[in-house]
Amino acid sequence: MPGPSERRPIVDLTDEQARRALRLKWGSVPDDVIPAWVAEMDYAVDPVVMEAVQRALAEGVTGYPLEREPALGESYAAWAGRHFGWAPAPDAVRPVVDVTAGVRLAIDVLSGPGGVVFPTPGYNAQHGLAGVTGRQELLLDVPPAAERAEIDLDRLDRLFAEGAQTLILTQPHNPWGRVFTRAELEGVRDVVLRHGARVVSDEIHAPLVLPGAEHVSYLAIDGTHDHAVAVVAASKAFNTAGLKCAQLVVPSAADRALLDAEPMSRNDSWSPLGVIAARTAYDDGDPWLASLVERLDQQRALLGSLLAEHLPEVRMRPVEATYLAWLDASAYGHDDAAAVALERGRVQLSDGASYAPGSTGHVRLNFATSPERLTEIVRRLATAWT
């Protein structure tokens, strides 16, 4: 981890800058609304990454990408080795357009026809992926009252016994904010191996593990390489989702052969600018990322203290990673707490029902903003909900 003197500062975007830069998050809401919903940060992009992209544009890099992008695999492997103490072979890395497309591709090509287990609350953009691939989606619900969200291994075992063949494992988890321990991942592996099933591990939030927790890739667990792939990206941590480049980590040579044999149309094409941004982030982004994790740790603490002061009945699950807090506001009596927050408080949150169908009173709050904005967000929520 770079020392404080080596780090690059986090720069807060003004409201006007955010509306120009973050077209969905800020540009799609009225001017009097503070957006705290979609997973983008209200921070300027790391200048080193931005300079690399601008230099590529000046050189006219707007054509097709390479088919394999071997240098991207080398950059990711070196980065993973520094940060996690485990790294894949560079030739195990395959570019994809984004993480959700990578999950879909892996299920399409590598999974059997049986059902896909999806723990909920779960990332709303991945609800329905099973159906897109012609498979049944099987929800593995985590009880809303659970203080520390965990995957019910007994229930997972039963779903596999009944014919499911794939688990979408999101870790670190969105929206729980959980970082699964090595022991928990070993428990998942044991169930999967018992049934000859497959795991697609979405690890896009791995760079955003906060102090007090440690990311362990599912692929770092012994006995996983023949049945699992990981989908990773620099885009969430470096705010470059629009540049379109994620990576599939495929440790099995047999699985790589299957993927490589697929027609080009099976894999949506990634962007050459996204490759440049990702490689720069992996190669040269550590000083900025260290500052970001420090800022998010501060924001996590600030949110906890603000809720304790202004909304003491809100339950916030422990946030071990990401910049997304899963809040239970049901004590204040609003089934659709997000709608009330928007109507009365002029704050846009993500409705919990989109992550856990049928749930009430839950929201996801994005705290990757300035301390001043976060303070105003909670003040407005208190006015709206109480």
Summarize pLDDT for 30-88 with one digit per residue, the tens. 999 999 999 999 999 999 999 999 999 999 999 999 988 999 999 999 999 999 999 99
* pLDDT number for residue 144: 67
Segment 88-114, tens digit of pLDDT:
999 999 999 999 999 999 999 999 999
Residue 216 has pLDDT above 70, yes or no: yes
* pLDDT number for residue 7: 87
pTM of the model: 0.95
* pLDDT number for residue 210: 98
For each of the domains in the chain, give its residue range(s) and CATH number, in order of start. Answer: 4-46+286-385 (3.90.1150.10), 54-284 (3.40.640.10)
* DSSP E strands, the chain: 34-35, 93-96, 116-120, 137-141, 166-170, 198-202, 228-232, 246-249, 315-316, 324-328, 347-348, 350-351, 362-366
Do β-strands 137-141 and 116-120 pair in parallel, antiparallel, or remain unpaired? parallel
Residue 153 has pLDDT above 90, yes or no: yes
Contact by Cβ (8 Å): 93, 249: yes
Angstrom distance (rounded) from CA 300 to CA 176: 14
* pLDDT number for residue 367: 98
Angstrom distance (rounded) from CA 357 to CA 21: 31
Q: Using CB atoms within 10 Å of the CB of residue 265, give its burial: 0 to 12 exposed, 13 to 18 middle, 19+ buried.
A: exposed
More confident residue, 142 or 226: 226
Segment 352-369, tens digit of pLDDT:
999 999 899 999 999 999
Mean pLDDT of 252-257: 98
* pLDDT number for residue 5: 65
In the chain, the amino acid numbered 338 is: A
User: How does the average pLDDT of the chain come out, rounded?
Assistant: 96
CA 198 and chain centroid, separation:
20
* pLDDT number for residue 267: 74
Share of the chain above pLDDT 70, in %: 98
Using CA atoms in the order 295, 236, 6, 57, what is the torsion angle rounded to 10 degrees?
-130
Q: Using CB atoms within 10 Å of the CB of residue 162, give its burial: 0 to 12 exposed, 13 to 18 middle, 19+ buried.
A: exposed
What is the pLDDT confidence band of residue 269, given thresholds at 50, 70 and 90? confident
Collapsing DSSP to helix, strand or coil, 329 comes out as: coil
Residue 145 has pLDDT above 80, yes or no: no
Residue 1 has pLDDT above 70, yes or no: no
Q: Whose CA is closest to 326, among 306, 302, 349, 301?
A: 349
CA distances from 291 to 55, 76, 95, 142, 298 (A): 24, 20, 27, 33, 11
What is the pLDDT confidence band of residue 264, given thresholds at 50, 70 and 90? confident
